[in-house]
Amino acid sequence: MLIDSHAHLLKEEFGEELEKELKKISESSVKIVNNIGYNLKSSEEAVRLTARYEFLFATVGIHPYDIKDFVSNNAVENICSLAKNKRVVAIGEIGLDYFRDISDFGDQKKYFKDQILIAKELGVPIIIHSRDAFKDTFNIIKETGYFNGVFHSFDYGIEEAKKILDSGMFISFSGMLTFKSKEKLKEVAKIVPLDRVLFETDSPYLAPVPKRGKRNTPLYVEYVYKTFSEIRGIKLEELEKIVEENFVRLFNRSKNFINGRHYVQDS
């Protein structure tokens, strides 16, 4: 089975075609999708959708672009209460983005830390968005002492990857792994331990080769799997199994729900 560990299957992104897309995925070989919230509204929607689609898990959190939500709503409290739902498997996506100057950098840091602390209290992992901000991202995580999470749509280099891996966290590759221009990313894919890898689409963004330019969908996660399996010379079926185990190990709450199968609790 294929797993998309990060997609935004939400009204804001898919509009009137959302239901059609959800139905298509439910009939495909993509058996699990983490539906990722990025502000209060999308987080609530992601949680609501899990009641209707078995293949969906939800994550809740405020993205660095949406930090203004913290000012207008009582976000920390709202995120906490949403996260009590058992199909919420992580706090995210949260993090720092210095590439686009959308939210004040000081606010980004403050609320990133606050949200990591929510995750820590609940014992769920974090899904990290980090762009042009590796040092601060890593330092804030270090301050909380909570190295339980995944760098989503990883796009840093070998040095950063090693730091993340040494700390015990995971790396998730998106469709960027299939881009010709991303040689550096392929180097990271060569060295990442297999028990620390996840794949994602970040739909509707970042469609992989050969679908570049189209709206992305979890159905295209297979191209990320294929590219990685070629880079590492592993059979696709083997890789699927490894990624499934990784997913359940990181997103601990998912184990009660996946096809009624039992997994050994991570020690």
- Which residues here bind Ni ion, judged by CB under 5 A? 202
Nearer of residues 97 and 244 to Ni ion, judged by Cβ? 97
Structure-token pair, residue 129: 């968005």
For residue 225, what are the contacts with CB-CB under 8 A and spacing of at least 6? 2, 199, 236, 239, 240, 243
Quick one: which of 87, 80, 160, 90 has its CA closest to 124?
90
Closest contact distance (angstroms) between CB of 233 and Ni ion is 29
- Distance from C-alpha of 2 to C-alpha of 243, rounded to nearest angstrom: 8
The residue (of 97 and 202) whose beta carbon lies closer to Ni ion is 202
Of residues 142, 145, 206, the one with CA closest to residue 172? 206
By beta-carbon proximity to Ni ion, the closer residue of 46 and 197 is: 46
Residue 14 C-beta: closest distance to Ni ion, Å: 14
CB of 219 to Ni ion, least distance (A): 17
Cis? peptide before 208, omega within 30° of 0: no
Side chain identity at 103, as an amino acid letter? S
Largest CA distance in the chain: 50
| Nearest residue to Ni ion, scored by beta-carbon proximity | 202
* Closest CB 116 distance from Ni ion, rounded Å: 17
Backbone torsion region of residue 132, taken as left when φ is above 0, otherwise alpha when ψ lies between -120 and 50, otherwise beta = left
Instruction: Give the whole-angstrom CA distance, residue 37 versus residue 43.
Output: 4
12 or 121, CB closer to Ni ion? 12
Q: Least CB distance from residue 256 to Ni ion, whole Å?
A: 25
In whole angstroms, how close is the CB of 57 to Ni ion at the nearest point?
14
Choice between 13 and 222, CB closer to Ni ion: 13
- Which is closer to Ni ion, CB of 160 or CB of 202? 202
Nearer to Ni ion, 10 or 188 (CB): 10
Q: Where are the alpha helices (DSSP H) in 145-220?
A: 158-167, 183-191
Rounded to the nearest whole angstrom, what is the least distance from the CB of residue 7 to Ni ion in the complex? 8
**What is the token pair recorded at 222?**
């297979």
Closest by alpha carbon to 1, among 31, 28, 21, 27?
A: 31
